[in-house]
Amino acid sequence: MLVIPCMLMVLLKLMFGHAGGSFDRVGPQVFGIFPVIVMYLVGSVSTLRERTSGTAERLLTLPMQRLDIVLGYCLAFTFLALLSTLLAVGPLGLEIKGPAYLLMVVAMLGALLGLALGLLVSAFARNEFQAVQFLPAGVLPQFLVCGLFVPRDEMHGSLAAQAKVMPMTYAVQAAGEAARHTGVTGVFVRDALLILVCVVGVLVASAATLKR
């Protein structure tokens, strides 16, 4: 979880390192994407193993609420996402106009979103292979229409409408706001709140799937 995001950012640096300011343009937006994908895979597989091995059932015998268990997962994985972001930003020299902590906020929200989706999917998958199969259906479409490759205003109308209801779109947009502006903008705050609302909704649904 710490090494793979850093390796991906190094690969991105090598790809765009000699293409003017391409890395500084694309790099910040990637912080809205990589945490979602990585934490989805980690969260879905690890939680599924705990469900199938009986660990989740043993935790539910303790005097705690289901939401407490879900929040515990979130705190642990979000901390790891923050560490991976620090390792990726510092040595690679990514330059943004805004303060670096805004990218940290985007990365943590993305990690929470990916983890929440992974927790929810683990309730419907019977094995790790099925959990990974949900990735092309639930996460990769967001990756394609989030605005990283083509601006949303240049997309087909139906795709642009779908992008508006996908949380990864707002993670990429918030990262772009942090890269282009020197301070906290209203668009950044709005996008961050929208992601947080999505995270809370999915986490509540995930907690409901944990049955005693």
User: Hey, is 16 helix, strand or coil?
Assistant: helix
pLDDT tens digits for range 12-55: 777 776 665 666 677 777 877 888 888 888 878 877 777 777 77
Place of tokens 């990916």: 114
Residues 139/167, Cβ–Cβ less than 8 Å: no
Per-residue pLDDT for the chain (212 aa), expressed as one digit of tens each?
Answer: 667 767 777 777 777 766 656 666 777 778 778 888 888 888 788 777 777 777 767 777 777 777 777 777 778 777 776 776 676 666 666 777 878 788 888 888 888 888 888 888 887 877 878 888 888 877 888 888 888 788 888 888 888 888 888 888 899 889 888 888 888 899 999 999 999 999 889 888 877 776 55
Domain residues of the chain, as ranges? Answer: 3-208
- Alpha helix segments (H runs only) across the chain: 3-16, 22-30, 34-53, 55-60, 66-92, 100-122, 128-138, 140-145, 157-163, 167-180, 186-208
Closest CA to 137 of 174, 166, 160: 166
CA angle 57, 61, 64 (to 5 degrees): 110
